[in-house]
Amino acid sequence: MCFKEIEESFKDHCGIFGIYRTDKKQDSAKITYFGLYALQHRGQESSGIAVNDSGNIIYHKDNGLVNEVFNEVVLNHLKGHSAIGHVRYSTTGKSDRENAQPLVVKYRKGHMALAHNGNLVNAHIIREKLEQEGVIFQTTIDSEVIANLISRNRINSENIEEAILKTMDEIKGAYSLLILTPNKLIAVRDPYGLRPLVMGKINNNICFASETCALDTVGAEYIRDVEPGEIVSVTKDGIKSIKYRQSFKHLCVFEFIYFARADSYLDGISVYEIRKKLGKQLCKESYVECDIVIGVPDSGTTAAIGFAEEAKIPFSEGFIKNRYIGRTFIKPEQSQREIAVRLKLNPLKSNVTGKRVVLIDDSIVRGTTSRKIIKMLRDAGAREVHLRISSPPVLFPCYYGIDTPDRNELIAANYTPQEIAKILGADSLEYLSLEGLNSVFDNKLQNFCTACFSGKYVTELPENFNKYIFEEGV
Amino acid sequence: MCFKEIEESFKDHCGIFGIYRTDKKQDSAKITYFGLYALQHRGQESSGIAVNDSGNIIYHKDNGLVNEVFNEVVLNHLKGHSAIGHVRYSTTGKSDRENAQPLVVKYRKGHMALAHNGNLVNAHIIREKLEQEGVIFQTTIDSEVIANLISRNRINSENIEEAILKTMDEIKGAYSLLILTPNKLIAVRDPYGLRPLVMGKINNNICFASETCALDTVGAEYIRDVEPGEIVSVTKDGIKSIKYRQSFKHLCVFEFIYFARADSYLDGISVYEIRKKLGKQLCKESYVECDIVIGVPDSGTTAAIGFAEEAKIPFSEGFIKNRYIGRTFIKPEQSQREIAVRLKLNPLKSNVTGKRVVLIDDSIVRGTTSRKIIKMLRDAGAREVHLRISSPPVLFPCYYGIDTPDRNELIAANYTPQEIAKILGADSLEYLSLEGLNSVFDNKLQNFCTACFSGKYVTELPENFNKYIFEEGV
Amino acid sequence: MCFKEIEESFKDHCGIFGIYRTDKKQDSAKITYFGLYALQHRGQESSGIAVNDSGNIIYHKDNGLVNEVFNEVVLNHLKGHSAIGHVRYSTTGKSDRENAQPLVVKYRKGHMALAHNGNLVNAHIIREKLEQEGVIFQTTIDSEVIANLISRNRINSENIEEAILKTMDEIKGAYSLLILTPNKLIAVRDPYGLRPLVMGKINNNICFASETCALDTVGAEYIRDVEPGEIVSVTKDGIKSIKYRQSFKHLCVFEFIYFARADSYLDGISVYEIRKKLGKQLCKESYVECDIVIGVPDSGTTAAIGFAEEAKIPFSEGFIKNRYIGRTFIKPEQSQREIAVRLKLNPLKSNVTGKRVVLIDDSIVRGTTSRKIIKMLRDAGAREVHLRISSPPVLFPCYYGIDTPDRNELIAANYTPQEIAKILGADSLEYLSLEGLNSVFDNKLQNFCTACFSGKYVTELPENFNKYIFEEGV
Amino acid sequence: MCFKEIEESFKDHCGIFGIYRTDKKQDSAKITYFGLYALQHRGQESSGIAVNDSGNIIYHKDNGLVNEVFNEVVLNHLKGHSAIGHVRYSTTGKSDRENAQPLVVKYRKGHMALAHNGNLVNAHIIREKLEQEGVIFQTTIDSEVIANLISRNRINSENIEEAILKTMDEIKGAYSLLILTPNKLIAVRDPYGLRPLVMGKINNNICFASETCALDTVGAEYIRDVEPGEIVSVTKDGIKSIKYRQSFKHLCVFEFIYFARADSYLDGISVYEIRKKLGKQLCKESYVECDIVIGVPDSGTTAAIGFAEEAKIPFSEGFIKNRYIGRTFIKPEQSQREIAVRLKLNPLKSNVTGKRVVLIDDSIVRGTTSRKIIKMLRDAGAREVHLRISSPPVLFPCYYGIDTPDRNELIAANYTPQEIAKILGADSLEYLSLEGLNSVFDNKLQNFCTACFSGKYVTELPENFNKYIFEEGV
């Protein structure tokens, strides 16, 4: 079943993978399938793969996890020497099949497939302008805007790379892009490097992925990160790198705090190490006497291990997580409301009863889950529950591709930590300081986007974005 | 599973249905569902319905029959005061989910859904021109070309109807169109009236359908046919009719011979009556002494009844057709090749053994099926098999929406009837004459498109279409 | 989805097919698949195939049509030298997956699969007796009763054939059975021959089918009907025929009137010929002056052709039947009630308006459909509608495998023809006489079961069956 | 798709849940659904729920996870005041839909549904005996044997409880059973208490589950464990407990080591606590100097935390586990063989490079996975890898419901720890001692079944089981 309401909602978080094969092997779709599998944590809503061959591009995409959308028969049909793939995270429940990526289009120079991770902040302005000129849109994804611009810029360009450069002058925001044409695989990263994108090599074939964990999985060797503002164009004649006229290092810091998989390296930095250090730093800043340190599974576990190590208190498990919860399950009735939480997490009574617990999580957004978790700990007999957050308070929404609610729903934007502690039922609550975060990154935090903590957006925001923020009273 | 190769293949045959409700009832999708059910013979490849409400258009479409694509849950979600629907016939095996209709787009004035029956002869030229200007295409259907033109023409037009008129200046060929916007339902028929389109009324709500059988099914009263070159625009304020600057009557004669359902009336003429008269006329022209008259099920049945009546020979059944053959079934192996035919048709041995049989069919395209059927009759003991065709020889391909093969595959374009009889294993073969066809239509055949018989295409054909024909040596 | 309520409902109508291969070919499942396809009219509820090999029996069965339940992958797994298959007609809406056949069981001598067509009249008595001895039942099908008896009778029997003979002493009613063991294929027909069963040969491999149309389809040569009370056992050493101690010829006459496919021969008699003769005889008995003769599609068509031939009135088509109605479709709402009928059948207005119509059907059960059809004809402008039924009034329920309602729902058991004509809205109504039926069968009607017309059941009925009949006031 | 080969394979591991409602609420199926969700770790192959109402039992079951087999529509149909459910673990790839439980049968006293966790050691002997008496079998599950015995024993019993007691005299082995009749819910645990079964209460309604985690999930209060040899019969009149004539405490110790969920309590003992103590004891016995302690995710994690705590070495994570691996996924090709492992687990390079690693797992069966994991650690740069197992060597197969391979495939039964270390590529390997295990259980190990370590089976084994063992050279 597929319902689509074409609305102006552009927010996605996604994972992308691509491979360019120069040898005769026809297994690019299969390698991409495994690459996407390793990136599934970046998006569980839809999956898609496009392959090129003989001047044509064929594809398959649908709503669902990688292993739901693809099977042996489908993959065997996707024959081609190169491939790109995409997994998508749906935001506000609009699971529109049409919005699945890669987007495949026919334009004046033939076919082109695009897979996009990130969020443009001026997509709606460009759409409106294009619509005024008569352009029609069939999806609500930024990729359609980008494809239109590339197609139009191609008219007076020598080649597609030049058209992409011109397009980069027009689009603002976060984008890591993979573009597949019948004979090229092109990787593009926005001038701020907001979303990650790495390059690897498998048997002399170049591949790209949102994170190194996908390279590990497919057995590829890590070469380097695609640089901010870089266009890497791979053809049978080799790799060509083109740099946009300006660039900055502003990788999203939240990739380290929460979003990326712990075994990935972004810009050469181990996500796991950062998370553990965040826990240690958090302990230095906000140690509290207690009996056990536990993490909210699974996002708080690594920081909790770091905190426990620093605190010299044993790390422990506080909950058992049900590993079999599917994407959808039947809702308990009103009278069974508590089942919904316990279905996913059950506290380890024997471990927490009578204990003073330090509970570590990576962040608080609305606070609803935290409240339930703290209540479960108390019901299980915890004597004290001290909540420690391994990142600063999230005060501002993200416009670069992480789905965050409006400011009025961000609990930290509306209450003091003491008030939040009370709301959540915690005995105390401490966040990591921005300085602490900075120290964890060897005092180079200025090289990362921290807009959600600081409100310092690395790009200009279109007028209505600013207005929006003002209206919220910041 | 959905594979899509974006190629330049535009040929479809389709059925469309639409309804505009002015009352509060929200069952437009359901009525459209039943309307499409009655039009399923016009296309079994994909089905789709779009509804409008509150300034938005939501839709559902997929490959499959109407009752495969839709279920109660889906229909209940498609709430809206008005709806259009589409069933599509796939031509060369490209069952691309993306090509399912209605096409739903967002353009400068909001959303718009299009359902198209017919074939433009200059779509590829317009596409190329648009692509030169930077337009991207995501499907291979004409509707996407039309939507682009309407969107662009809308810029300097007062309203959508004016934009449609301008678009009609640009597109050439056959089109019966239903266009749904958040507050209008617009029906358009090309200036030659090549494809049928009728208007009806159900409880004071206007509806449109490819054929009257859909009106009968949903319980609507027939009002009139949409006229060639007419735009009928329905809003809450009523019906507005706009006429294109010129128009002709050239409804496809093959709709009567084969394509439409026998219980439909097109331009007020009963399809059933025509078919029966074709049989009678055929008998007048090519009577042959025989014991029984049978039709190829189901397409030759009605003409056979007419032939038998005229010949005063009892009409009889020659085959039993298996009513349970689905869209797909497992292919018999090489050694079981004959099963494929017998699975669908089994001759009534008791009825044909020792008999001189007149076998009636509506047309011969490649001749492959006819040969198998005649062989089955002979194997079942028929003494003589005289093949009679209730239409003239198909000598030219159709460019207006009926899927016909190239001339070199049209058996009648390459052999004389005597040669064909020999090829097919028939004792004799006679076609209906063009004059005979004319007489059946009360000598008004000039009001119909007979290009497939005569080569007189009612529209200009783009240069390459002509070349194509020339290359084939006609 | 599969819900099963184990209730005491034993009525089924079914089709069976089996093949014993002595050569090495492993395509028995595939041939059975095609055989079942040709028997699909005998049951659309569930489909199943079991194959034997290496001492084991593997199978696949589920609710659905043959081409829904089986695909290439499934068939390829069903490797084995011999196979039996079954299609099942569900009666009162109980679409229990567990009741799909063949039934495959493990008993003291190994594995055994059973496919059953017919209905035992004493199954409930045997079940009760077995249950008293501790036997458990997992389905409500007769096959489970039969399998239990064969298994128990096998204890003191030399071989399975002897066990079957003993079982035949116990079970009463209609049964055509195919039994597959790891090295035998056994066909059994009840001593009255109530249900059909024919034997054929394909490349020297013996096969069995409910009707000859399945032999035709798979390319098998007809050998003979399995005789009433005969056990035909096929092994690699050849065919062995065993006769039950007594037997009678009482093939169900309704197979000829309605149930079998018209191209089949039962006991060597052409079903088509009988149906046409029924129409002719009906005309002799109840001619009425009229303009056209039409049949209720598809069941009345052949008799209508016969009636028309005899009456020397042109046979004509009165309705167009929608060929795309699936097993399930969305119900129209109350206000759209008439859609349900028109979705399936639409009258050919041009053909019936102002006409005196003779409408032929094979039988009337409850009369509900006939009333709707006659109303449609009148709405379409028919001047007179004379209903003629090509069989005598159905006055008694069938206990031998055709699903008939209780007597109080059989319209002919409760009203005179004149009253029925009035109820149905017909100008007149005539049934074929029993004598007429006898004459069509060359005055050998005593060789057929006519219990539904005459109440003369060929077997004893268990006490409660009689009681049941008495209670209904016959 | 469902293939079934009826073979003599009886081994299953399963989870069961049941609830008896005395109030009017019809949500027993839904509560059972959530209960099964919490027991999904005990079986992922098939799921089923049966409910009773109005003297009937309706059910739904199929292959698949709970949330694949059930949806809102299905659950809404399963109306009834009481319910039992089952999840099943398939052993040797025989995913036979027919073997899904609960088994629902009709017997002399009406309907009965059975859900069984455990394995009978004499099922094949009883089956053979029953088959000799003519009984037929349709599945290969023990439940069918049990249902037959209960049905037969019911003949001379006052009530079903008496029949169950008699059946307990006949069946040997492990069984925790839930039996549902139209008015009773009966829980049975074998006289050795080999498999767990707990009783709870939710709003005064009695429920049963394999583990307490299911009680927690549905919000039920734990009452007590069903005792070894106890029959608990719940009716609207209350709870009745019947004790078998003899009983022993021999709960499977492996439930604590690996199988049960860590948040469960079995016989009142916290599974989590045991696992942590096993890690501590393991450290006491086989400490080795190292830099980090890691567990094989997820089975070794808790013991690793215990080991680390005892060793005063920081617990750390060594791998990231992909949480999105479905039940089935496409196999990498030969050349991509390593992908299969890395798809599931990726080592945390930054954490293990240059480190001396202690790797904790709960057990070694064949050793294949351990070898791959150790290789991954070495490839990631681990300097030393010391494998520590938190249970004694598995030397003997389990006959009580845990699927273990033959002795010749049990690596510990064929090699010394030193040899195994070499085979697996570990620098050292130590198992927990049986004495250590005993101490963790407060020296009450005699109250548990430790047959897989000691070969001391708590029940007699049928002759051929012994023979089997002898043949393996023990």
DSSP string, B159-217: SHHHHHHHHHHH--B--EEEEE-SS-EEEEE-TT--S--EEEEETTEEEEESSHHHHHH
Q: Are D297 and A317 in contact (CB under 8 A)?
A: no
The alpha-carbon gap from B170 to the nearest alpha carbon of chain A, in Å, equals 16
Q: How far apart are CA B115 and CA B138, in angstroms?
A: 16
Rounded CA separation D474/D453 (Å): 13
Task: Please state, for a pLDDT cut of 70, what percent of chain D lies above it.
Answer: 92
Q: Is there a contact between D417 and D431 (Cβ–Cβ < 8 Å)?
A: yes
B326 touches chain C (CB under 8 A): yes
What pLDDT does residue C78 have? Answer: 92
Is A342 in Cβ contact with D317 (below 8 Å)? no
Residues in chain C with CB shorter than 8 Å from the CB of D147 are: 136
| Beta-carbon separation of C138 and D105 below 8 A | yes
pLDDT higher than 90, residue B415: yes
Question: How far is B243 from B241, CA to CA, in rounded Å?
Answer: 7
Q: What angle do CA C341, C345, C348 make, to 5 degrees?
A: 130
B72: nearest CA partner in chain A = A1
Residue D316 contacts A where some CB pair is shorter than 8 Å:
yes
Helices B417-424 and B368-379, axial angle in degrees (round to 10): 50
What CA–CA distance (Å, rounded) separates B304 from B294? Answer: 6
Distance from the Cα of A41 to chain D's closest Cα (Å) equals 8
Provide, as residue numbers in chain C, all residues whose Cβ is less than 8 Å from the Cβ of B33: 330
Average pLDDT of span A430-444: 98
For residue C241, give the nearest of C168, C167, C161, C158 by alpha carbon: C161
Q: Are D317 and A262 inside 8 Å of each other by CB?
A: yes
> Backbone dihedral region of B3: left (phi > 0), alpha (psi from -120 to 50 degrees) or beta?
beta
Asked if D336 has any chain A CB less than 8 Å from its own CB, the reply is yes
What's the confidence (pLDDT) of residue C98? Answer: 84
Task: Give Cα C203 distance to the centre of its chain.
Answer: 28
**Residue A50: partners with Cβ closer than 8 Å, 6 or more residues away:** A57, A58, A59, A61, A83, A84, A85, A102, A104, A113, A115, A180
What residues of A are designated binding site for [4Fe-4S] cluster? 252, 398, 449, 452
Range D150-158, long-range pairs (CB < 8 A, 24+ positions): D150/D107, D150/D112, D150/D179, D151/C131, D151/C134, D151/C135, D151/C136, D151/D105, D151/D107, D151/D108, D151/D112, D152/C133, D152/C134, D153/C134, D154/C134, D154/D107, D154/D108, D154/D109, D155/C132, D155/C133, D155/C134, D155/D108
* pLDDT number for residue C335: 64
When CB atoms are compared, the residue of C56, C138, C154 closest to D138 is C138
Strands C356-361 and C384-389: parallel
What CATH number should be reported for the domain whose range is D273-471? 3.40.50.2020
Mark yes or no for CB contact B320/C213 under 8 Å.
yes
Selected for mutation to probe chain B from C330, C338, C349, C377 (highest B CB count within 10 Å) is C330
Q: Which residues does chain A have within 8 Å of residue B94's beta carbon, measured at their own beta carbons? A: none
Strand pairing partners for A409? none
- Residue A345: what residue type? L
Q: B6 — contact with chain A (CB < 8 Å)? A: yes
Q: So what's the pLDDT on residue A352?
A: 94
* Distance between CA atoms of residues C263 and B351, nearest Å: 9
Is D356 buried (19+), middle (13-18) or exposed (0-12) by CB count in 10 A?
middle
State whether residue C216 is helix, strand or coil. Answer: helix
D107 close to C (CB below 8 A): yes
Q: What is the mean pLDDT of residues A402-426?
A: 91
- Which residue out of A14, A207, A283, A290 is catalytically annotated? A14
Least Cα separation, residue A251 to chain B (angstroms): 32
Q: Confirm if A451 and A395 have CB atoms less than 8 A apart.
A: no
Cβ neighbours of residue A63 under 8 Å, at least 6 residues apart? A2, A45, A46, A69, A95, A97, A100
Provide the mean pLDDT of chain B.
90
The answer to whether residues C331 and C359 touch, using CB atoms and an 8 Å cutoff, is no
Which residue from A33, A322, A350 is facing D330, i.e. has the nearest CB? A33
C162 burial (CB, 10 Å; 0-12 / 13-18 / 19+) is: middle
- Residue D1: per-residue pLDDT: 30
Instruction: Name the active-site residue from B14, B213, B283, B290.
Output: B14
**Fold held by B13-248:** Glutamine Phosphoribosylpyrophosphate, subunit 1, domain 1 (3.60.20)
Within 8 A of A5 by CB-CB distance, chain B residues are: 56-58
Subunit contact B261:C305, Cβ cutoff 8 A: no
Predicted pLDDT of residue C472: 35
- Look up the CATH architecture of domain C274-471: 3-Layer(aba) Sandwich (3.40)
SS3 D69: helix
- Report the residue of chain B nearest A103, measured CA to CA: B138
Residue of B nearest to A4 (CA): B58
Subunit contact D137:C6, Cβ cutoff 8 A:
no
Residue contact B133–A155, C-beta within 8 A: yes
| Run of H or E residues at B65 | none
The three-state secondary structure class of D50 is strand
User: Is residue D163 less than 8 Å (CB to CB) from chain C?
Assistant: no
Q: Pick the closest to residue D10 from D160, D145, D105 (CA basis).
A: D145
- One-letter amino acid at B100 equals A
Is C2 annotated in a binding site? The answer is no
Contacts of A216 in chain D (CB under 8 A): 342, 346
- CA angle, A150 as apex, A146 and A151 as ends, to 5°? 115
Q: Which residues of chain B neighbour C352 with C-beta distances below 8 Å?
A: none
The token pair that represents B191 in the structure block: 């200036």
pLDDT (0 to 100) of residue C164: 98
The whole-chain average pLDDT of chain A stands at 90
Tokens of A223: 């070469």
Strands D13-20 and D205-209: antiparallel
Q: Hey, which residues does B51 pair with through a beta bridge?
A: B58, B83
Weakest mean pLDDT among B204-208, B334-338, B462-466, D206-210: B462-466
- The SS3 assignment for C362 reads coil
Asked if C180 and C102 count as a contact pair (C-beta separation under 8 A), the reply is yes
What average pLDDT score do residues D40-64 get?
Answer: 91
Domain B274-443+454-471 of CATH type 3.40.50.2020: yes
Start and end residues for every CATH 3.60.20.10 domain found in chain A: 13-248
Instruction: Mark yes or no for CB contact A324/D37 under 8 Å.
Output: yes
| CATH 3.40.50.2020 in chain B, residue ranges | 274-443+454-471
Which residues does chain D have within 8 Å of residue C126's beta carbon, measured at their own beta carbons? none
Q: Between the CA of residue A316 and those of A364, B227, C119, what are the distances in Å?
A: 21, 79, 66
Instruction: Give the H/E segment covering residue D322.
Output: none
CA–CA separation, A257 vs A259, rounded Å?
Answer: 7
pLDDT value at residue D335: 64
D349 and chain A: CB distance < 8 Å anywhere? yes
CB proximity list for B281: less than 8 A, separation 6 or greater: B432, B436, B437, B439, B440
At C323 the pLDDT is: 86
Residue matched to tokens 């081409």: C67
Handedness of CA D92, D97, D102, D105 (dihedral sign): negative
Given a contact as 3+ CB pairs under 8 Å, which chains touch A? B, D
Query: Is there a contact between A243 and A227 (Cβ–Cβ < 8 Å)?
Result: yes
B361 is in an annotated binding site: yes
Total beta-carbon pairs less than 8 A apart between chain A and chain B: 112
Is D342 part of the contact surface with chain A (CB cutoff 8 Å)? yes
> Across the interface, which of A3, A108, A133 has its CB nearest the CB of B58?
A3
- Please answer whether residues D187 and D199 qualify as being in contact, where contact means their C-beta atoms are separated by less than 8 angstroms: yes
Asked if D260 reaches chain A (Cβ–Cβ under 8 Å), the answer is no
Pick from B60, B106, B152: which is nearest to A1 by CB?
A: B60
DSSP C40: G
Name the residue among A281, A159, A261 with its Cα closest to residue A216.
Answer: A261
Cβ distance of A322 and D349 shorter than 8 Å: no
Lowest mean pLDDT of A57-61, B11-15, C130-134, name the range.
B11-15
**C283 among known catalytic residues:** no
Instruction: Please give the model's pTM, rounded to 2 decimal places.
Output: 0.91
Q: Does B446 touch chain A (CB under 8 A)?
A: no
Touching subunits for chain C (3+ Cβ pairs under 8 A): B, D
User: B354-375 in b/e burial notation, b at 16+ Cβ within 10 A?
Assistant: ebbbbbbbbbbeebebbbbbbb
Question: Whose CA is closest to A288, among A370, A387, A204?
Answer: A387
CB contacts, 8 Å: D152 with chain C? 133-134
Task: Determine phi and psi for B166, rounding to 5 degrees.
Answer: -65, -40
C85/B contact by beta carbon, under 8 A: no
* Contact residues, chain B, for C27 at CB < 8 Å: 333, 336
Q: What is the pLDDT along chain C (474 residues), one digit of tens a residue?
A: 333 334 333 344 799 999 999 877 778 999 999 999 999 999 988 999 999 977 889 999 999 999 989 988 889 889 888 999 999 986 533 447 888 999 999 999 999 999 999 999 999 999 999 999 999 999 989 999 999 999 999 999 999 999 999 999 999 999 999 999 999 999 999 999 999 999 999 988 999 999 999 999 999 999 999 999 999 999 999 999 999 999 999 999 999 999 999 999 999 999 999 999 999 999 999 999 999 999 998 889 999 999 999 999 989 999 999 988 776 667 776 666 678 788 889 999 999 999 999 999 999 988 988 999 999 999 999 999 999 999 999 999 998 987 777 888 899 999 999 999 999 999 999 999 999 999 999 999 999 999 999 999 999 887 666 434 433 333
Measure the CA–CA gap between D159 and D164, rounded to whole angstroms. Answer: 9
